[in-house]
Chain A
């Protein structure tokens, strides 16, 4: 289950210049949701929107293209998107929900569908769940520490953050680029991420991330019938430019490597947790 079940995998990017302008990589999530919204595949999407504080995401239900555009780009800290899952069917009256999230959030979505313990009338309303690749996430205070203390940039002057090539990058509006090695950021990671056994959002309908493809492109796994339906329609409508994943560098080998690294490392954490105390351990959520 390193890469999960999938029907197809391609390198892709949006054909929409406006979307690409503020996108993290290939603008896959924004483009696919914008298309799905236009076509009525979804009535709205739960996304990590902007908030009052710089780079602190706030979950929001986007029902317009403008709202989707405002939420473009990766914020490397917590956006509890699932907290709006039931609300989206209530206050927003959505019958077909789009939702984007990290692998753990996709797990939460599927658990909500199979064990809808507090999710009345939600299971049948998940129309398109888009997962993003994720190695780990940070609390907001960690992002403040990383960007302000380590990168020496004011959070409000940063225009883009990125993790790639073993480094954390902060780009500012005045053109400065700060980079620090990921080994500096490790201690700021959210602990709950260290038991996660999924890198590429195995349980999403469509999952995407930058790893495996050249700059400005994204790797896309189409995993379920729902995902395939939306993806194929979007391709036919000309929403995406694609390339065979076998033909791009660094390709799926790198995705497989990073996924394996994450799973191996976190399996070890789970094992270590089992004998964390003296004759006592910490909980394993997978038992």
Chain B
């Protein structure tokens, strides 16, 4: 973590540029250790998994020894509730409002997915939801395809950052959209947070080296044999990549500038 290089998002200053998730763990009780090892300060949670008291439950209690997921999230972490399950803008907006009403704060990660085969986000509906929620005072982080036009639409709609996917969600395939992410980093004034598909710390490091503001990693940590050690690896990799970007990589001599030609094309100028 680098206190001299804060990541300011939604008016909040963060020292870690790794965001983590809460899904797919063998036990929610792993979350505190994962969070600590990763150094992360932001954690996303699906509203569909968040317990809320049933209004007419007659005092129904969780199953014995089954505290809700929220009880495992360290108090110092900033919650990033997400709208998993929403298939259009209206549903995403409803879930965001529910999250705020449930005390999860004003940050919201917009997920609008109406294709359960590939789980690719719907850019048009995402931008619509972003506009509505930004006007309501949310800090909106839309999960999008690595698409410049969608990113711009979300920026115009009031997003605090954009979260392009590196590869289809859950695949651990790495930065398959690297070229497009590079364009977003180059073109967007908003922070670019690479979300989905990152499978290894080296890939997170690469995203940060490119100039991504942060990475969100869930499956790669949760599905590791040792999630805590993997979380630490990701935390270190993200920091290393960030440091590399700050340092400015040295010039890489490419093929065109490689060997000195014995008969240079511009020799006639001598």
Our verdict on whether A and B bind, yes or no, reads no
Report A's interface with B, CB cutoff 8 A. none
